[in-house]
Structure 1
Amino acid sequence: MLDIEHLSVRFGGASEAVSDISLSVGEKEKVVLVGETGSGKSVLLLAILQMLPASASVSGRALLDGTDLLTLSPKEMNRVRGERISYVPQGSGNGMNPLLPVGYQVGEPLMIHQNLSKKEALARAVAALRRFDFGQEEKLARQYPHTLSGGMRQRAMIAMGVAQGAPLLFADEPTKGLDGHRIELVVDAFRRLEDQAILCVTHDLRFAQEVAQQMAVLYASQQVEWCSKEAFFREPLHPYSQAMLAALPENGLQAETGFAPPREDSQLAGACRYYRRCPWKRSRCRENPPFFPVGDGRKVRCWNYGS
């Protein structure tokens, strides 16, 4: 369905915010991107959607059913956004307009992209809300966002994303700022999306474990690991992936220096971007490694798995 090939993003003369990312999302497949803040996860989504500012320079390809989205005109891309790809931004549902009822906002894309009447769109919006078991959905559709909890607003944003029936959903940090109970509600909402492919950004490994089928790990704008969810949580290969899992409470909160957020001044020019923090580093690591295939569809950017 979606094939991202060597996609990179640069802002002005700054270093790359996204560097040579390649991954795919199959039909009805759930792919989750994990990594620290600043690793390029959200920028990747916005680049594919052509929602970055004019200062951004994007290279590579993002093929949706064979069509390169990066070559489409703004008018063509506007049709893709909504009809083919839905987008749920981060912010615990705070992206909702406080002046408009929830039902109107969930149904508005249907009026824009499918030319439905306000009445028809509202009926579809109520049906979308009902998929997530809010209760009293007709009443909820008439309420304003400030009357909903953060978890309810986030689920309403997801309902907005699925109301149009787009086969691919992009979600950016859907659990950010939510407590444990509300995170469970969002997890349940994603579990209900069996017929949609999902490309989701998160720093919440517990959420990823519940939702993902495939995992991509980003560090300092580069993809450093690609594998199934089961492989990631059973036996992560990259030292950064291992550090993330070691830092989980059930693993003893073993947050070492290798888990620190990436900083440009911590990197050695031309070297592996994890070089200064890596417990495995050797002389070969002063050269940035390629993305090595390691069997069963896995890939890892580390010289320990290549020649």
Structure 2
Amino acid sequence: MVMLDIIDLKAHFPTPDGLVKAVDSVDLQIEDNERLGLIGETGSGKTVLGMSIIRLLPPSAIVEGRMIYKGRDLLRLTEEEMRRLRGKEIAMILQNPTTSLNPVLKIGDQIAEVISLHLGLGKREAKARAVQMLEAAMIPEAERRAEQYPHELSGGMKERVMIAMGLASHPSFVIADEPTKGLDARTKAEIISLIQDMTSGRSMLMITHDLAAAGEICDRIAVLYAGEILEEAGAETILSDPQHPYTQGFIRSLPSQGLHPISGSSPSLIDPPSGCRFHPRCPYVMEICKREHPQMIRLERGHSSRCYLCH
């Protein structure tokens, strides 16, 4: 069963220099109990897509398309209806816990506030539940930690708190935005294991530039570039048999593959290149790539690529 069906989603932002097309005609499906990784460089539109789902973009954003969640179009819900879903049914684990956590509130109180809001528990019950969530997030001495402030915790501990907070109301669908960003190798491995355990039985969209982490956590991976999906397949297929030149270059840039960067830089989202948006950086560019915008081509079951080489 499809948990979330994103159809022709656009998220554009007016600026003095023109319209920034951060998300441009994206189609994406996430199944019940499936974990999907959304991969791309900084500025590719990943976080904007996540914020579009929970409708937390600024009022100036122009959002069009359809996002069908459990049979309801999220873009057609009233703000009150969306508020009831946000946090309870659909939760987001925000990136950069240092700025996302309130520095003047104890972490236990911050988690308890979420629990009280969405589960209707009293103050004492919510606080006890917050301690349980910290324990589930493998935070030692959870009861003592609940009385601490964010500045008293390490970066890895803060990330665990964000995960505990995001999952405190037992959401059906979780959006995790760069959960492994800025962590050392040991802490990242611990967070990956924690996410695997705590999101079991839930649908998840993992937004990240860390392809290796997504490969460990996710069932399927979609590759985003300049606001559009370039390739989509099972995680193992993406890592072992990538078909789009951008995905191939992205994999070669991993530390395990020798850190070979993709030449050039990401295109303007105001005035993207004609034809294929990756063609100015592509080592296999053909004339048709410069003239005509490629459509997604289904290669085999569950594997699609937006590239003329696949024709």
Given the two structures, how large is their TM-score scaled by the length of structure 1?
Answer: 0.95
Would the aligned equivalents of 1:92 and 1:175 in 2 still touch at CA under 8 Å? no
Would the aligned equivalents of 1:89 and 1:172 in 2 still touch at CA under 8 Å? yes
The separation in 1 between residues aligned to 2:247 and 2:52, in whole angstroms, is: 25
Residue 242 of structure 1 is aligned with which of 243, 248, 251?
248
Aligned-residue identity in percent: 39
Would the aligned equivalents of 2:245 and 2:282 in 1 still touch at CA under 8 Å? yes
Q: Report the residue type matching 1:271 in the other structure.
A: G
2:100 is paired with a residue of what secondary structure?
coil
The separation in 2 between residues aligned to 1:177 and 1:254, in whole angstroms, is: 20
Report deviation, 1:263: 2.2
Aligned to 2:71: 66
- Runs of 4 or more, structure 1, over 3 Å off, are 265-269
Report deviation, 1:289: 0.4
Aligned to 2:22: 17
Would the aligned equivalents of 1:21 and 1:222 in 2 still touch at CA under 8 Å? yes
The separation in 2 between residues aligned to 1:305 and 1:267, in whole angstroms, is: 26
Report deviation, 1:68: 0.5
Aligned to 1:46: 51
1:119-143 deviations in Å (ceiling 9; x for gaps): 1111111111111221211111111
Q: Report the residue type matching 1:216 in the other structure.
A: A
Aligned to 1:251: 257
User: Are 1:273 and 2:277 an aligned pair?
Assistant: yes
Q: RMSD over aligned Cα, in angstroms?
A: 1.6
User: Are 1:302 and 2:304 an aligned pair?
Assistant: no
Aligned to 1:135: 140
Matches within 5 A, 1:145-224: 145-192=150-197, 193-224=199-230
The separation in 1 between residues aligned to 2:301 and 2:99, in whole angstroms, is: 40
The separation in 2 between residues aligned to 1:219 and 1:29, in whole angstroms, is: 22
The separation in 2 between residues aligned to 1:40 and 1:211, in whole angstroms, is: 21
Report deviation, 1:108: 1.0
Given the two structures, how large is their TM-score scaled by the length of structure 2?
Answer: 0.94
Report deviation, 1:265: 8.6
Would the aligned equivalents of 2:21 and 2:269 in 1 still touch at CA under 8 Å? no
1:37-80 deviations in Å (ceiling 9; x for gaps): 01000000111111001111011111111100011111110101
Residue 86 of structure 2 is aligned with which of 78, 81, 84?
81
The separation in 1 between residues aligned to 2:37 and 2:47, in whole angstroms, is: 12
Would the aligned equivalents of 1:267 and 1:273 in 2 still touch at CA under 8 Å? no
1:121 is paired with a residue of what secondary structure?
helix
The separation in 1 between residues aligned to 2:272 and 2:67, in whole angstroms, is: 30
Structure 2: stretches of 5+ with no match in the other structure: none
1:192-251 deviations in Å (ceiling 9; x for gaps): 121221101001122112111110101111110010000011011110000011112222
Would the aligned equivalents of 2:267 and 2:273 in 1 still touch at CA under 8 Å? no
Q: Report the residue type matching 1:254 in the other structure.
A: H
The alpha-carbon distance between structure 1 residues 51 and 268, as it changes in their structure 2 partners (threshold 3 A), is closer
2:58 is paired with a residue of what secondary structure?
coil
